[in-house]
Structure 1
Amino acid sequence: MKIAVWDTYVTRKDGKIMHFDILVDENLKDENQIFEYGKKYLKSVMQEGQNLTSKECVFCHIDKAPVEVEKQIIKSGFAIIEMENCY
């Protein structure tokens, strides 16, 4: 499976900048759906309500998904790679 990687930087409630990637099937083009996946992730890490728009989240590139990422996308529609300050 090929995936689209959306590079995302969100200001946490404590002011630190979170950096994570939202991974979706390459054919998903609906930015609002991708932002909703990001908001779902933010809620799971107690950061709900933070801004997540095209200012914070931009398409980066297409890549080949590792098996575990592919399974997560098939199951949930998306996967997250946590980069910085996610906890």
Structure 2
Amino acid sequence: MKVAVWDTYVTKKDGSMMHFDIIAPEEIKDAETIYSYGRTYLTTKNQDGQLLTSKECGFCHIETVKPQWKESIEKQGYFIYEMENCN
């Protein structure tokens, strides 16, 4: 399975920057669908309402799905790869 990686930087409520990737099947081309995945994730981090648009989130590249992402993608349609300040 090939997946699209969307590089995402969101300003948190405390003003710090959180960095994560939204990883979804490559067939999903609609940016609004990707942003909705990101907004759902932000809600789980008590960051609901933070801006997530094309300015904060952009397509990066296509790659082969990693085993640790596959279950989440099959279950909910996407995987969030946390990189910086996601706690």
TM-score using structure 1 length: 0.98
TM-score scaled by length of structure 2: 0.98
Distance in 1 of aligned mates of 2:67 and 2:11: 30
State the Cα RMSD in Å.
0.5
Q: Give runs of ≥4 in structure 1 deviating > 2 Å.
A: none
Structure 1 residue aligned with 2:62: 62
Aligned length: 87
Structure 1 residues 33-72: aligned runs within 5 Å: 33-72=33-72
Identity %, equivalent residues:
55
The unaligned stretches of length 5 or more in structure 1 are none
1:86 match: 86
| One-letter amino acid of the structure 1 residue matched with residue 63 of structure 2 | D
Deviations 1:12-52 (A, max 9, x none): 00000000000000010010010000000000010000000
Partners of 1:75 and 1:68 in 2: CA distance:
13
Measured in 2, the distance between the counterparts of 1:63 and 1:45 equals 26
Quote the Cα distance in structure 1 between the aligned partners of 2:80 and 2:86: 11
Structure 2, unaligned stretches of length 5 or more?
A: none
